[in-house]
Chains A and B, each alone.
Chain A
C-alpha cells in the first residue's frame, strides 16, 4: 500500500513539472523490489572476546534507504562546507568527515536515541545523526544566530540532547564520555555512552586513565577509535608503537571493524551495546575508516599521503557507493529512487546553505550572555573600564 502511494505521488509530481502533461516517472512499481535481504559482512578481529558480532546481517529496504539518505546528506553537507570555507564564509577550523559516513550512521543505527554520544572535533556528521538539522549545523559553521549554538561555538562546539559535542582538545572527550557513562550507571536507566576518539588521540594519557576507571567501575562505556590512518599529518606507523588500537584497552575487550561498511559498523555497535549495557563494563571498538579531505580545511591532505591512495579508497571502498550497489544489485532499490533521494538532498543542502549565508550574525547584545546557567544577570567588564556590558543566563 505504501509503495503504491509512493508510485502515485511520484507520478503526479513528475506530471506537475512538465507542462501539466502526465509523465510516468518509473516504469516499474516499487512492489517489485525486495523488502529485505541478508548480507555477509567481514569477520571482526577480536581481543579478549570469545565471540564477535555476527558475520551475516539482515537489511530492510526501509533501513537501507534511510542509511543511504543519511550518509549522502552528511557527504553533501560536508562538501557544501568545503565550498563555503573556500569562499571564506566559514572561518577558523573546519574538519570534514567525508569518507567516514558509515561510522556515524552505523553507530547511530546500533544504539538508541536515549543512549549518549560524545566525540572530538570532526563532528558535523555526528551532530546530524544525533538529531540536529543541516540548517542549524551550517548556520553554526557560518557563525549565525540560527546556528545550533547560536553562533557562539563554531565547528567544534555543537551540542544536542544526549550529545555532548564537539570537543576541541584532543583526547579530553574520552574521560568526559566515561563520566557520562558513570551518570548512566548512577541513574540506572540501562543507557550507554559511545565515546569516540581518533588514531591520533589514542596516544593521550588521559584515555588510559579513563580506560582504567571505566574497567574498574564497570562503566557502560563503548570506546570507539575511528582510525582513519592519519593523525593530522602523521601516519599511524609514525605515531604509535602499537597500531592495533582495538587491543590497546589491554584488559578491556576489543574488536576491529571495517568502518567503511555501514552494516559492519551497525552490527558491531549492536554487539558492543549489548555487551556493556547490562553491567559487563566497557568495551572498545576500532573502526578502520578513511577521510577524503585533509585533517582540516587548511590541510590539502596530500603532503603525507598520495593522491593515488585517496583515489583508490574512493573507487573501491566508498561507503555510500557500497551501500547503493548492494541495494541495487539485490533489487532492494531502483536507480530512479536513488536519484530522487539525491535530488532531494541536494535541494535540502542548498536551502540550508541559503539560510546559513543569509541569517544574521548573533546580535552584539548577546556577546556576554550564557556565561552562567540559572543565575541573576551581572555586569561584565568590556574592553575598557568605561564599557560595562551585561550577562544574562
Chain B
C-alpha cells in the first residue's frame, strides 16, 4: 500500500513538475518576446535603419563580410578611412558582432529567406536582448532559484539602461556582449555549482565569444579571479572552484589569443595579470589542501613552516621582478581606457580624445535613476537576500554588483554592465519578498494545512490561486529538477542552505494584513517601475506630446509607459523629428541628404574631411574616403584635422590640401537649433589639435575663459575655418544671423571664402559641404572677375578680402 501511495505521490509530483516546467517555459518565451518587441519601437516609429555612429561601421564591416567572405575579412585593409594611413580592419575590430550577424544572414539566405544585411543587422540587438534575458534567468536561477530567475529576466527585458543600447538598429558590440557576459557568468556559476568539466569547457567557449564581441571582456577576466580569491580567502575553496577556474584561464586565454585584436595582449597586458596571479594562487591552495589531506596534522605544520619561509622569499623576488617589469612601461601595461577606469581623472588629464566622448564621462545621479530607477532601491535588499544563506554563487553576484557599481560610477557607458547586476539583485529581492509575504499569508489562512506539513509545504497546499505562490512553487520544483535529471545528488551546502532557509522562513511570519498590503505595494512598485521610466524618459524626450498621449489613455497606462520608455531611446539620431503645432510630424533628414549627395555626385576617390564623429557614417553611407573616423586610434591624425578646423582659412586649406582632401563637411545646427553640432564640439578640436600642435592655443578661442561666437568672440575664433564654414552666408537667412543653439547673434556676419566654395548645403542647413578650390584659382586672373559677379562666392580677389579681413 505504502508503495502504491508513494508512486501515486511520485506521479503527482512529476505532473506538477511538468506543469511547472511548461509554465516557466511559457513565461520565459513571453519574456523573450517582451524583450524583443519592446525594442522595436524605433522601427515602428521611425524606420528599420542603423542608428548612431559606431553601428554604421559595424554594418559596413558586416556588408564586407557577407560579400567577400571570412578570409578576406581577416585580411581586410581598409583604404577608405584614415587616409592616407588606412586601417587594418581585420586585426583591429572585435569580430563577434559582425560574425554573429554575418552567420545569421548566411543562415537565412541559405534557407532562401532573402533578408538584406541591413535588416539582419537592425534586428540583431533585439534578438540578443531576448537571449540576454534568458541568460539572466539561468544565472539567477543558479543563484537563488527559478522565481528569482524569472523576476530578474523580466526586469532585464525592460531595464531602460539596457534598452538604450539595444533598440532595433543599435547595432553595436554591446548588443551581443551583454548576452555573452551574462551567459559566461551563468556558466561559471553553473560549473561552480556542479563541478562539471562540461560546463567548464562551455564556460571557456562563452568567454571566447565574449572576447570576440567586446573589449569589456576584461571585466570578466578580472571579476572571476576576484571571486575565486574571495572564495579562497573565506575558506570556501573546493574542487568545484578549481574546475570552474583553472580550465577557464587556460582554455580562455588560449582562445582569446586567437582573436586578432587581442592576440598576445591576452598574456602580456596588465588587464589579464590578475587572472594569472590567481591561477598560481589557486594551484598553491590546491596543493596545500592536497598535502593537508595526505599528511598528519603535525607533519603538515612542519611542512607549512618550511614552505612558507622558503616560498615567501621566492615570491617576494618574483613579485619584485614583475612589478619592475610592469612599472618600466609608461602606461604600466594598461591601456588608456582601462587606466581611466582605475583612475577616473586620468583621461581628462592625458587623453582628451577619450575624455571628449560623452559616454566616457562619469554619470550623474539623475542618469542612474533614469537608467535603472526603482531597481536602485531594490539592489540593497537583494544584497541582503544574497547574504541570508551565503553560497558561492550568491557571493559572486554580490561581488559582481559591487564592482559594477564602481565601474558605472566612472564611465556612463558601463552602466550597461551594472544593469544586469541590478536586475539580478532586484529579482532576488522581489522574489524573496514575495516568498516571505505569501508564506505569511499561507500560514495564517484558516483551513490551510500549511502548518502541519513539513518540508514541502508550499508544494502540497491545495486551492492555491495566487499566481505569485505559483512562481514560488516553481521555485521549489525547479530546485528538484536538476537532481532528477542529472541523476546526481544536490550539493551538500545547497541542500543545507535550503533547509536552513526553510526554518528561517517559518520564523519570518508576518501578520496577514501586513503581508497582503505589502504584496499590493510590491505590485504597485512594479507598476511604478514602468511608470517612472515613462515619466523620466518623457521629460527627457523632446516631444512633450508623448506624455500627454500616455496620460490621456488611462486604462492602458502601463502599456503606454513602456511605449514611452522605449521611445526616448529609439531615435536613430540620423533622423530627427519634431511635431508641428498642428500635430504633424516634421522630419529632419539632413544627414542622409548630405551623405546621399556625396555618394552620388562626387568622384569615388574623393576624400572628405570632417570631425571624426561623422567618419563612420561617411564611409558607410556616402562611401567616400575619410581622414579620421570614430575609431580614434591615431591621435596625431585627429589633431591635424582639429588644427585645420581651428586655423584660418589659408592655413586650413594647406593642411587639407596636403591630405588630398577635396571636400570638407561641417555639421551646423544654428538654423534649426540642433545642439550637437560642430561649433559646440569645437573646443575639443582646439584642445586635441593643441595637444599635438602647440601653436593652437585654447585661450585664443576664449574670451575671459568663456566660449562664445557673438560679437565678443576673439578674432582667432571669428577667423577660424570652423566658424567660417558654419556661418558662411548665414546672415542671409534671417537678416540678423541669429544662432538658435547658442541663442545669440553671431559675431561676424559678412565674410567671403577665399579657398573654399560651398557645394552643398542640406535643406535645414544641418550639413554643409565645401570644396577646396584648386590652387590655380588663387592666382589673380582677369577672366575670373566677370565670373565672380555671377556667383558671388568664387571671388579670387585676395586684395579685396584682405581689406575686410584684417587678421588674414
Partners in one complex: no
